[in-house]
Chain A
Amino acid sequence: MTQHHPDSHSLMEFSAGNLSDPHALCIRLHLDECPHCRSRVDTLDSLGAVLMDEQPGAGVADDAFDRLMSRIDAGTPEPQPKPAPRGNPLQRLLGEDLNLLPWKRQLADVSVLDISHLFPGQPEKVVLQKLAAGGKAPAHTHRGLETTIVLQGAFTDHKGVFNQWDFVVLDEHDEHRPVALEGDDCITLSVLSAPLKLTGTFTRLLNPFIR
């Protein structure tokens, strides 16, 4: 049961379609497991509809409807429901078992995997991080904004326990020392917003857990 949710600003930016793909992925993974936030997003989607309706509107070309119908008559396939996709969007990208990925070990308890290349053209760094069951990460702060969702296992820090599908946003003011709970290795997905004034080469030097 998730206890830590995205804030309303993030959900609103999601509903408006303003988030980058990696950020949207974090929200999507949370929504898939959190009926409460799904219901908030439903409300926000309705807000979008109402705002769209409140706008003045812009006249469309006179032949727009006819063009539309000829396009439909010209062989738009009959409407068909799509088969339900398997797993969550991340599993469809990476395979079902995240434990089997080619993790790069950085410290005794800490492994990482940079998957930024799956999101071409987007400024964020996207990394999976794995903290061995019961393992400790060194104390660290964050540079820029870091959005994290727990994919497997759980970790704890001074702010509480973060379980599977919990959502955490940390910034440069947050210093923490995460400890994975016993049982499963704790796997998280983090999206690091590129700090405004730093570019390319510098961000590559930033290590997600230790900075």
Chain B
Amino acid sequence: MMTSTRAKTATTGDRNVSTPNPGSNRTEGRKDPWSQLLDKVGKQQDREAYRALFQHFAPQIKYYAMANGLAGQAEELVQEVFVSIWRRSCLYDWRKAAASTWIFTIARNQRIDMLRKMQRSRAEMTVDTEDLWQIPGDDENEPVTSLHRLMSERRIRDSLKHLPEEQITVIAKVYMENKSHQIVADELNIPLGTVKSRVRLALNKLKVILQDQNA
């Protein structure tokens, strides 16, 4: 349990924004190339843009499936994710999430759906996956939070470069192999507490932890 005082402008004031960057970064940061392509798919059903997205993201999604023990269904997962991207692209709002973040959430949800279908008892679930795990932008009432969401991906990419390997290994196992902290601990043969502290240190640097946002 965590009690916090609240920080309203937590990530907008982060230091990457004020770091002197080549001037183009600021405007390009608003809409990266993948988000531009996804926008075209949504607005014009642009097939060349769709193909370019496929070429970039399909291998990532296939790897993601394989890392998750879905090697036999990896091609199928790629297809399902991309059908979903096509269908939903009209809902995509680049101001609410970068394309890669949006695509990650779709891949994650399709993986959850696929696992549900494979476990018969869970297939009868009464709650839709997307009722629980939302895709950014689906909620029209959600206000556009402007730059800070878009900056977050670049900021994370930069911060990740400075994390020690042992921290990256742990969070990559959680995200890419969908392993619980306990299973990661067992696999790496380290105590659960060590896994938790590595995750904590990593999230701390990535500014996900509440207290750090107040600092």
Contacts and interface: CB of A to CB of B under 8 A. Distances in A.
Interface of A: 3-9, 11-18, 21, 24-25, 28, 36, 38-40, 42-61, 64-65, 67-69, 71-72, 76-77, 79-82, 84-85, 89, 92-93, 118-122, 159-160, 167-170
Contact of A8 (B10, B133, B203): B203
Contacts of A67: 79
Name which of A24, A42, A77, A82 has the most chain B CB atoms within 10 A of its CB: A42
A45 B83 contact: no
Contacts of B3: 3-5, 160
19 contacts: A4-B3, A16-B108, A17-B111, A39-B11, A42-B101, A43-B152, A43-B156, A45-B101, A46-B97, A46-B104, A51-B176, A55-B176, A57-B60, A60-B59, A67-B79, A76-B83, A76-B86, A81-B90, A120-B121
A43 B199 contact: no
B100 A49 contact: yes
A88 to B, nearest CB: 9
A132 to B, nearest CB: 24
A205 B158 CA distance: 51
Interface size class, chain B: 35 or more
Nearest to A71: B83
Nearest to B158: A50
B140 to A, nearest CB: 7
Interface of B: 1-4, 6-7, 10-11, 42, 47, 51, 54-55, 58-64, 66-67, 74-75, 78-79, 82-83, 86-91, 97-98, 100-101, 103-105, 107-109, 111-112, 119-122, 124-127, 131-134, 136, 138, 140-142, 145, 148-149, 152-153, 156-157, 160, 171-172, 174-176, 178-181, 196, 199-200, 203, 206-210
Nearest to B131: A89
Given A58-B59, A60-B58, A5 B2 contact: yes
A79 B59 contact: no
Question: What's the dominant secondary structure at chain B's contact region?
Answer: helix
A21 B62 contact: no
A47 B156 contact: yes
A118 to B, nearest CB: 5
A200 B160 CA distance: 43
Leading 10 A-B pairs by shortest Cβ distance: A121-B121, A57-B59, A49-B104, A121-B122, A49-B100, A17-B108, A58-B62, A58-B63, A89-B131, A79-B90
A168 to B, nearest CB: 6
A12 B174 contact: yes
Contact of B78 (A49, A53, A60, A119): A60
Contacts of A3: 3-4
B132 A52 contact: no
A61 B145 CA distance: 39
Contact of B2 (A6, A14, A16, A48): A6
Nearest to B180: A18
A46 B153 contact: yes
Contacts of B66: 58
Contacts of B58: 60, 64-65
